[in-house]
Structure 1
Amino acid sequence: MNAIYLDNAATTKMDNEVIEVMQTSMIENFGNPSSTHQFGRKAKSSIETARKNIAKHFNVSAPEIVFTSSGTEADNLILKNAVLNLGVTRIITSKIEHHAVLHTSEFLQKNNNITIEYVNVNTLGTIDLLHLESLLKSSKEKTLVSLMMINNEIGTILPIVKVADLCKLYNSLFHSDTVQAIGHYAIDLQKVNVDFMVASAHKFHGPKGVGFAFFRKGFGILPMIHGGDQERGARSSTENVHGILGMNAALNIAYNSLLEDEKYIESLKVYFISELKKISKEIQFNGVSEDIERSSYTILSVRFPVKNDMLLFTLDMAGIAVSGGSACQSGSNIGSHVLSEILFNGEEDKTSVRFSFSKFTKKEDIAVTILKLKELL
């Protein structure tokens, strides 16, 4: 039985070229970047070269990139800096954000007495821009808006330019969790007024345990981790040299073949949607997941017309790896906070599954998955 991997929104297979770059670094570039001897200088130089290369992809300067261990750490660093260092007393976010944003905001509310306001989200999982503007108008408090560019569960794409322009109009800071977008969409930060964004390498065929935060020039950074003054004082801890070089290689590969990969992966999603509709007219798609223009080409959130708590397990036993998306998932007391927010009238009790694709996904993988779903449904 050949294993089929359709959970790329959770993590992606590392590109072979990335592995080679990291392996070479492990053998030849083992010095501590903080050491002043030739081995340390070599490691430091390789990190700074990677920083410059990564910055170029987003049309920003190298000092605006801070390396972290993950997108979650980057979100924490940004949100906590906004409150503790930049004077933010109010955060506007939505109830369908990643927990890295929601839980950090709740922590700051509890411990720093900030205000959290939630912008309305409709049943399609899209932000109410008129409500966002009314919230921005309603207070002169120093405000940070935190809205993700692509929802990790249902794939909805935020109208990021419109949100950024609203934030600028009302003198508010704008942070976007761009973990599901980096490596899949081109982002020119000279054209999009995002003040802070984040990335995680393992979402675009790089290694786990490394990511970065973007802080637009002019914002000071107060470290969360103390002890060594690395990353220009923004994050103490010996840099993950091999991971950073791997992330740089993965990003280069992703953006060098961006249009080609997008076209291919989008064709897989369109094919999958078409085949699912042939199985049953009662199969539905959460949010705007079916809409190729308004949702990520890598994510498809499917709601089946039945409740089947064993569906994920059965697919796994058949060699097909996917993620759950039901509001009340088997084996979880919490379920999906995203689907709970947008689904009503019993629809939230039906079994939802997130299928997510990459350049390594084959059309045959989709065909086999469709056959198995026909059998199960």
Structure 2
Amino acid sequence: MEMIYVDHAATSPLHPEVIEAMLPYYQTVFGNPSSIHQIGRQARQAIDQARRTIAKKLGTSDQNLVFTSGGTEADNMAILGYALEHELNGKHIITSQIEHHAVLHACEELEKRGFDVTYLPVDETGRVSVNDVQEALRDDTILVTLMFGNNEVATVQPIKEIGDVLKGHQAAFHTDAVQACGVIELNVSELPVDMLSISAHKINGPKGIGLLYVRNGVKLRPVLFGGEQERKRRAGTENVAAIVGFAKAMEIAVDSIEERQELYQQFSKILIDTWTKEEVIFSINGHQHERLPHVVNVSFRGVNIESLLMNLDLTGIAASSGSACTAGSIEPSHVLVAMFGKADERIQSAIRFSFGLGNTVEQIQRVANETAQIVKRLGQQSEFIS
């Protein structure tokens, strides 16, 4: 039985060209990039070249990129590093209720250290109000951290408009762009952000590597202590092979964005058209237009989502009910709760399909058909039981 993977928002398979690019740095050029001998210098050159490649794809200078162990560390570095460095200017931070837990838990940690955090609500599409941001701003606000595109429902936030609101204010602007990177264009020279987090394993790169873009002049307090790597901003021996793989994955992803956007839109249409034809009762969660193209979050009324996921898995289809970082949690999605409220039935029947490398039209058609049949079967069972 062919396995169909439609959980690319959780993690993505390594692109074959990424594996090929990484192998030499495991086998022959394995030196410590801080060493002065030839193998060490070759490793350092590989990092420098990878940093330049990624910087070019992001529209910035290589000096503005700090490699981290992933998106979580990049978010923590931005939030904790900035807040602790600038707390004499104020201790107020603004974020939203639908952020990734790497952001929410970092903010909660700062609250324990005496900071005041405002958690902005979102509307039913998952969008933050620009007016709410403006009204939440205070003289002592030092940081606004809002995700670019949501990892569960795909809604894209009004980043440019929020940046306009922050012009002339002391607050720095950080965005978690982990889910957006590689599926929509990110040019930091045109974005009104001071810091931006991304992660390689969402774009067919290796796990364990990410980065934080830091605009010129933005000062951060280190959150790791040790050596003087990354211009003294992030201690620890660099993961050379992963950095090389990250650069290759970034190159491939950015160069194929338009082609993949069209394909993912076709995939979404197949799902929606099939379920409509099969007379399945469903609702799409998230903004219908301002959204990431590779994620479809949908609620099937009256269907137990765990049963649906298990039945899909038995047919060889791997999907999810939300963020992989909260897998196994008995709590409902904090994103959907923020959008709909705790009592809404959509929260208990929401499933996420996310597309990526290896998916085909034939696969997505099978996903659509299998889902429709399972939903109708489970729906009939629940009606019979009730």
TM range (shorter): over 0.9
State the distance in 2 between where 1:196 and 1:330 align.
28
Residue of structure 2 in register with 1:279 after alignment: 278
Residue of structure 2 in register with 1:245 after alignment: 244
Root-mean-square deviation (CA), in Å? 1.7
Provide Cα deviations, 1:209-243, integer angstroms capped at 9, x if missing partner.
Answer: 10100111112232211111111111111100000
Residue of structure 2 in register with 1:367 after alignment: 365
Q: Secondary structure at the match of 2:98?
A: coil
Corresponding letter in the other structure for 1:295: R
Deviation at 1:350, TM superposition (A): 3.5
State the distance in 1 between where 2:259 and 2:167 align.
34
Structure 1 window deviating more from structure 2 (163-172 vs 229-238): it is: 163-172
State the distance in 1 between where 2:182 and 2:277 align.
32
Residue of structure 2 in register with 1:302 after alignment: 298
| 1:219-258 matched pairs, under 5 angstroms | 219-258=218-257
| 1:45-194 matched pairs, under 5 angstroms | 45-87=45-87, 88-111=90-113, 113-136=114-137, 139-194=138-193
Q: Is residue 336–residue 347 contact of structure 2 (8 Å, CA) maintained in 1?
A: no
Provide Cα deviations, 1:284-337, integer angstroms capped at 9, x if missing partner.
Answer: 01122xx2x3111000001001131311111111110001149xx995322211
Q: Is residue 268–residue 366 contact of structure 1 (8 Å, CA) maintained in 2?
A: yes
Q: Secondary structure at the match of 2:296?
A: strand
Which runs of no fewer than 5 residues in structure 1 stay unpaired?
none
State the distance in 2 between where 1:303 and 1:333 align.
18
Number of residue equivalences: 369
- Cα gap change, 1:8/1:28 in structure 2, threshold over 3 Å: closer, same or farther? same
Q: Secondary structure at the match of 1:175?
A: strand
Deviation at 1:359, TM superposition (A): 3.9
In the superposition, the TM-score normalised over structure 1's length comes to: 0.94
State the distance in 1 between where 2:190 and 2:370 align.
45
Residue of structure 2 in register with 1:6 after alignment: 6
Percent identity over the alignment? Answer: 38
Q: Is residue 307–residue 349 contact of structure 1 (8 Å, CA) maintained in 2?
A: no
State the distance in 2 between where 1:15 and 1:210 align.
15
Provide Cα deviations, 1:110-139, integer angstroms capped at 9, x if missing partner.
Answer: 12x111012231111111111111112xx2
- Cα gap change, 1:253/1:177 in structure 2, threshold over 3 Å: closer, same or farther? same
Corresponding letter in the other structure for 2:154: G
- Cα gap change, 1:252/1:325 in structure 2, threshold over 3 Å: closer, same or farther? closer
Q: Is residue 12–residue 204 contact of structure 1 (8 Å, CA) maintained in 2?
A: yes
Provide Cα deviations, 1:152-175, integer angstroms capped at 9, x if missing partner.
Answer: 000001111111111224332100
Which runs of no fewer than 5 residues in structure 2 stay unpaired?
377-386
Corresponding letter in the other structure for 1:316: D
Q: Is residue 7–residue 356 contact of structure 1 (8 Å, CA) maintained in 2?
A: yes
Deviation at 1:348, TM superposition (A): 3.9
Q: Secondary structure at the match of 1:10?
A: coil
Q: Is residue 82–residue 219 contact of structure 2 (8 Å, CA) maintained in 1?
A: no
In the superposition, the TM-score normalised over structure 2's length comes to: 0.92
State the distance in 1 between where 2:229 and 2:32 align.
11
Residue of structure 1 in register with 2:313 after alignment: 316
Stretches of 4+ aligned residues off by more than 6 angstroms: none
Provide Cα deviations, 1:167-223, integer angstroms capped at 9, x if missing partner.
Answer: 224332100000011112212222211000011001001010101001111122322
Q: Is residue 3–residue 320 contact of structure 1 (8 Å, CA) maintained in 2?
A: yes
